[in-house]
Structures are given as structure tokens and as C-alpha cells.
């Protein structure tokens, strides 16, 4: 799967297929194109994972555990080949008591438009 890397200073991420925000302000899915998302803080616990990705993700976790490695979201996403699916690796940066950053991966089916 292709991974597109973006750096942003906000969470205004719109789905190219539907034109909608990918997530609501509460973090809930807002587009039918969403196939899954991961956060760098807890990569082993994806959110909104599509049924077709669930067994593949489980196999990845088991293989990583057998190799005494942690979940590797990028390695997993690179191994998945689905027509029209694209992963967006989005790093947001800001300031708190110093610089802070967060990386999330969001998989969208760009062939999925609003019906």
C-alpha cells in the first residue's frame, strides 16, 4: 500500500474520495472510505479496523511477537495490497511545555465515494 507522509499543525484531514473530514471532533469516523487508523502511542491497538484488515493485522502482530518485536504499523501497511487503498502518515506538531508531536496512520479507500 502506498503511504503518503504529511506534516500538519491541525487535525483538519479531509478524505480525497468523499470531501468529508475523516474524523468528527470527537474522533469518530466521518467517511465511509475509512478502513483503519493507528496512533504511534499505542500502535498495537488500531481503531476502526475494517473486517478485511483484522486477520492480516493479527498475523502481523503474531509474527512481530515471534520475532520479539513490537507492532510496526509502516511494515504492516507496506505489506497490504488493496486496489485504491492509501495510507496517510500524518505527523502533527505543536507546543505545550515544549515541542510535542504525534503521528497517526489512516487508511482510506479512495475508490469509496459517498453513495
Average pLDDT of the segment spanning 20-41: 94
Domains of the chain, residue spans? 2-109
Summary mean pLDDT of the chain: 91
The model's pTM = 0.89
The set of long-range contacts for 36-43, using a CB threshold of 8 Å and a minimum separation of 24, is 36/106, 36/107, 37/104, 37/105, 37/106, 37/107, 38/73, 38/104, 38/105, 39/102, 39/103, 39/104, 40/73, 40/102, 40/103, 40/104, 41/102, 43/70, 43/71, 43/72, 43/73
Q: What is the pLDDT of residue 19?
A: 93
DSSP codes, 27-69: S-B--TTEEEEEETTSTTS-BS--TTTHHHHHHHHHHHHHTT-
Confidence of residue 115 (pLDDT cuts 50, 70, 90): very low
pLDDT digits (tens, 9 = 90+) for 54-70: 999 999 999 999 999 99
Contacts 24+ apart (CB under 8 A), 19-23: 20/114, 22/106, 22/108
Q: What's the whole-number mean pLDDT along residues 81-89?
A: 95
Amino acid at each position: 500500500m502506498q503511504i503518503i507522509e504529511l506534516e500538519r499543525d491541525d487535525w483538519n484531514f479531509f478524505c480525497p474520495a468523499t470531501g468529508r473530514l475523516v474524523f468528527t471532533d470527537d474522533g469518530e469516523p466521518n467517511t465511509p472510505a475509512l478502513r483503519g487508523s493507528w496512533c504511534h502511542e499505542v500502535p498495537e491497538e488500531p481503531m476502526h479496523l475494517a473486517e478485511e484488515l483484522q486477520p492480516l493485522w493479527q498475523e502481523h502482530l503474531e509474527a512481530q511477537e515471534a520475532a520479539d518485536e513490537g507492532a510496526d504499523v509502516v511494515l504492516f501497511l507496506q505489506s497490504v495490497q488493496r486496489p485504491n487503498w492509501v495510507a496517510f502518515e500524518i505527523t502533527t506538531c505543536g507546543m505545550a511545555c515544549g515541542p510535542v508531536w504525534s503521528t497517526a496512520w489512516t487508511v482510506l479507500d479512495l475508490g469509496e465515494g459517498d453513495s
